[in-house]
Structure formats: C-alpha cells, structure tokens
Amino acid sequence: MARDKRQTPELDRDLVDLAPELRWREWMRRIEAVLFATASPVSRDDLGRVVGQGASIDLLIEDLAVDLEGRPYEVALVGAGWMLRTRAAYAPVIRAAADVGGQLLDLNEFDLAVLAAIAYYQPISRDGLKDVFGKEISRDLIGRLAERNLIGTGPREPRRGAPYTFVTTDAFLAAFGLESLRDLPDPEQMADAGLTAR
C-alpha cells in the first residue's frame, strides 16, 4: 500500500508540551516555512497537516500577516490557497540584482488581450475568442499561455466533438496579484477610462 509522502508520522502537530503562546508561534512558523518553500498556493487542507487539531488556519494566517508587516514579502490569498509574495515595491530591486528572467511573463500586448478575454469570458473556446477578436487565435498563442501555466483547459459542452474551452489558473491570479477573478477590473470602468474599446 503506497503512503502519502507528505504524511510524516514523527511530526508532532499538537505540541502539547509547549505553552499555548509558544505553540501558536510554532504553528505560525510552520505555516511560514511551508509557504516559503513552495512556489504555488498552498491549500487550507495542506496547511492543516502541520498544525494541531482544531487550530484555526485563518487566524494563524492573519497573525502571520501581522508578523510580516514591514517585511519585503507578505502572505497572499491566491485562489483557494496562500503563498508568500514579494511586495510590489521591491520588484525593481529584485530585477536589478537577481536572475528572474525565467519568471518574467514576456507577453506582448495581443497576448495580454487574449489572456484578458479568457479571464473575463471563461470558459471560452477558440471560436469564442475568434468572436471577441474578429480573427482566429493561433494554437501557438494558446500554447504559450498554457506553457506559462496562465491558462488551462475548461469544461467541454456535453456533445460529441465539442471544442475545448480555456480558463485561467491560480498561476494567472498570482502573476497579476489577484486573490480571485472578482478582483479583475470592471470592463465598463476600463472602457470609460479609455483603456479598452467598448
């Protein structure tokens, strides 16, 4: 029988030998360590594996966020999980001193427009994108967005030969600093500001 490698029997989750305030601090540090070590959002269930039974993940995250105030990184809710993210004010510093070339999105204006259309109209097929842009969207462009894990495949209509649809991913949310799709700018407000066509 295969064991889940994340289950570590020697991990003392409850820490009953510690005073309550030290126990709470250790749970916060464990959550911080997990978030620090991962590049993608970590779910509530996964974080629950490193803290005691009945410990409130939400309260631990809130306390960790307060503890990180004034630091160059913060806890961010992305989709259904949390991650550590460098504060935007430090982006120029990181670009100046670190090799982040592989992490850059490197998308042109049209790529971003297609990505925005997928975000706003998801799930949307290539035919739906053609309706939005008035021209065929290349498989190469869809492939580049999928390679960067910004989009994934969505549901298909329940009919034979139905086209694949596309949806955005948690990586999309993280890349654009969004907690959820509800944080996308309102299309009408963007048009009113002259940023997009009606």
Where residue 33 sits, what CATH number does that domain have?
Answer: 1.10.10.10
Domain that holds residue 38: 20-90
Residue 13 within any structural domain of the chain: no
Phi then psi for residue 152, to 5 deg, are -140, 175
Beta strands in the chain (DSSP E): 42-43, 73-78, 81-86, 124-125, 151-153, 165-168
Residue 184 tokens, joined: 């996308």
Final residue of a structural domain among 57, 90, 123: 90
Residue 5 within any structural domain of the chain: no
59 and 25 together in one domain: yes
81 and 126 together in one domain: no
109 and 188 together in one domain: yes
Could you tell me which residues come within 8 angstroms of residue 106 by beta carbon, excluding any fewer than 6 positions away?
none
Final residue of a structural domain among 59, 90, 121: 90
Could you tell me how far CA 25 lies from the centroid of its own chain? 26
Residue segments in the chain with a per-residue pLDDT below the cut of 50: 1, 3, 198
- Summary mean pLDDT of the chain: 87
Amino acid sitting at position 71: R
* Number of folded domains that form the chain: 2
114 and 175 together in one domain: yes
59 and 112 together in one domain: no
Final residue of a structural domain among 60, 90, 120: 90
Instruction: Please tell me the distance from the alpha carbon of residue 147 to that of residue 135, in angstroms, as a whole number.
Output: 22
Query: Do 94 and 101 contact (CB within 8 A), yes or no?
Result: no
Amino acid sitting at position 50: V
148 and 109 together in one domain: yes
Question: How confident is the model at residue 190, as a pLDDT?
Answer: 66
Residue 35 tokens, joined: 């978030």
pTM strictly above 0.75: no
Q: In this predicted model, what pLDDT tens digit does every residue of 100-120 receive, in sequence order?
A: 655 567 788 899 999 999 999
Question: How confident is the model at residue 174, as a pLDDT?
Answer: 85
Instruction: Please tell me the distance from the alpha carbon of residue 173 to that of residue 77, in angstroms, as a whole number.
Output: 10
Q: In this predicted model, what pLDDT tens digit does every residue of 45-77 receive, in sequence order?
A: 999 999 998 899 999 999 999 999 999 999 999
